[in-house]
Structure 1
């Protein structure tokens, strides 16, 4: 990480606010004496106050993430030392956190989809279930440029059309239950098979066209 990309620095009160990490943990993570673990060494200003640059914030973010997993500060220190010994940089450690947080976000999004769809279904509002499915499908469209998002006339495909055009989408977190609540028991399996069959047909046609060239 280019430490020069951040001009000046942040005071400890700002670091607390931005990262949600307690002052005591910040101080102990930086202090090398008794009670400290010296994971990082921020800059001391001319006034004797520490300032924290972007690289420091990245390390303190990692400290916070590991603390939230239940690790003590000495255990967090050991994690940093093990990573450094293995040749992993702060960027590498951040990449691991990004992957872990994305996985957690997908799991939470799936449970939210299930809960919202069940709430609407229990209330007898099938239209609301369809709207919930459509909203989650649109999120996937935004994340995956290969999914159909509209034609030249600006018409937006129905959520069912997107599900049928994207094998595996119905298997996304929470989607199968939501589709069954919307279209009836067993519908998610039917959608899955139809999407797989359509993908197979397209692949076969593509191979046939390639041979003709």
Structure 2
């Protein structure tokens, strides 16, 4: 059984085809959830946005919104109603949830730290011996603390990496699904290589360009949800 969570950093920037990163992430997740229902998967799923104006999570953490529908737990099998309302969320996101567009300089509010914490709490359900637990992280920001300088940046970076390590020590893997423009490179070395544990050949082989094309991204995402053995 796979437990999956989708913290998604949402900034509405168009690619060359006029699609926003947010639309690509919504479409990718929606299609995969549909596949889970069709395949009668027993996977349990939670969908978590971070860098949000509103909050909705078990710990009442700022800037983290767990999307859900009635008659369903935060972490549960996907339902037809979840998919329908999630796919329609793109039109009402700004009104219902809203984005604060990144970690704000001059504050110690760390939405990425909070998102990993919220996801970790959800994924601690079940037996670690029998459940594969994953955080699938969509983001178009390769340097989440780029606007922060000095000791504050160092502290926030250290705390976030430690929070990720704590989750990984509990058997929760973190997979990065980067989004970038065709003329830009998602520089995983800025921050996320340390968070997901990329080094050596793994770092060299990491292909951030996969996030540029929706079709390729969907294939990668589906492989993570439905691995072949």
| Bigger-Rg structure (1/2) | 1
TM range (shorter): under 0.3
TM-score by length of 2: 0.22
If each structure's helix is expressed as a fraction of its own residues, which one has the higher value?
1
TM-score by length of 1: 0.23
Task: Tell me: higher relative CO, structure 1 or 2? Use CA pairs within 8 A at least 6 residues apart.
Answer: 2
